[in-house]
Structure 1
């Protein structure tokens, strides 16, 4: 009887074992599904958070200023404000793709803007020749940066900052005062004309530069080499890629885009002013690093840079519409950069730990 009682007493316990194991397994499965869903959400946030933020900004400004914000005139105004920043930021993107910094781009834009107006006003050169020479100067400065970084092995931050500082001094030596007289009217018309679809010429040039640089970076062997150098320089060198040449050409591209920005800025202002383009340095870096938090995880790319530029342009435009003081712009610029990049980094970190 005792044995039967013991046996009968064991029955429930023996029945609970499998049920208990099944319950634990079900709980683990639910936890795994929740963890997977959370990881997916965080990955989506890290890749698309900036785009969602841009759309949210557009919706907010449209909701509060429906008759102004999404009007055709204001959209063209936003694109015009974004055009110069986009051009110089795309050039900077190339330098960052290969793992280098270029702190001279703002100085190059200012210097070239001064030189191109001086070539027309002081030297009497025609517009087309002045622009070509100015672009060549920008490429040359980028090439010097690249050679100093790759051949002399000077840190890119030190090199480009030093070159930029020298350009300020050389520009001041060339002309201590803004060059405003003697500039042909046809030159200023470059920035003011609207040849296609009522879009300003700088917007059209921005579109052409974006498409060209995107194609080179993503659809050519050279672009693949650039990405390989940025991903793993030693592996790229061992695979036969001429790393130094790739980096030099990336700096040349940054110099070219900075020079293009300086030329368009001078045409827009109707004068060559030393220091006029210096502010584009921070704008370009903010746009590029905002773009690195878009679509790809921490990678620099042209589409992301464009999204970053649009975030800044839409934000500045919205602040202007609502009458915010101009000193709010750098606050917004720094805050949105820290927020976007910080949230993307946190999302990637948590997703990796799940």
Structure 2
């Protein structure tokens, strides 16, 4: 039987994949190709739940669609398991960049936790070098294919471990060799940023940009700690900030709201929210509002003036891409090309880049959207 081709997602007659995009929240160990997982697992004692790429991809998606961040994170035991050698890390990073470029991403930040990739004997420094080698190979291959992309590393400390300060120092040591920022990841509930205040103090003293996973599996207290203890310049997900906004009344398209102090601060300071629609649905991050994409507070936050960005979180687990996430939002909230462009401009302005390079990125996006729009 012939396989039916899926229509290319379009908004206003323009193919979303052709538009220049910025990806800020994208995990390396959540972006593997299923076939790569299978090939890297060969010769190891890692047992896979499926032996062909399509079935394995379906397994990851099914397991991740649990409504629980804790259960969602268990799928990473397999991907991390095949990323324990220099060759494995380099290959995964190279393909990661190639896949971003094929999706129209012109700037991306890839986050990962070096401490989780040392079982094969690598040092943290060697792991970072291996990932950087793969990133540069991917950038070169993209350029050879007529595409332009730049990717920076965000090193993650695991918030439940005692190595956060060590990884913070590693990030600073490699800031001139591909690392653009720092994050803490892992189980959010019960492990606030305040547990690692000393590490964040150190990063602040070194002026290294920080984003913090917050407001995904825990409430607004998690966001407060990310801002006060972590000095976060961006919020990883940050969905829970909508719980500090009280919708007083709705009349047609008119919505009267009352802001809590934290929500007003995040909005007024334009602190970027790294929202990931499909992932937020899978992990139960939007359970307070409902169980469908239409229930996601993304549109409420956007209409209220929050600095929203669109991200994939984990492409393998959500079987998604940035193009798909944008298409999902456009369908759910009737967004047009101007809205899609605004999300990219928000992300470009929030990138952990020098201001001159952010301005160049903004110009690249503006020009790219203008050219595609004229071709409609």
TM-score between the two structures when normalised by the length of structure 2? 0.25
- Greater fraction of residues in strand: 2
Larger radius of gyration: 1
TM-score if structure 1 supplies the norm length?
Answer: 0.26
Could you say which structure has the greater relative contact order, defined with CA pairs below 8 angstroms and 6 or more residues apart? 1
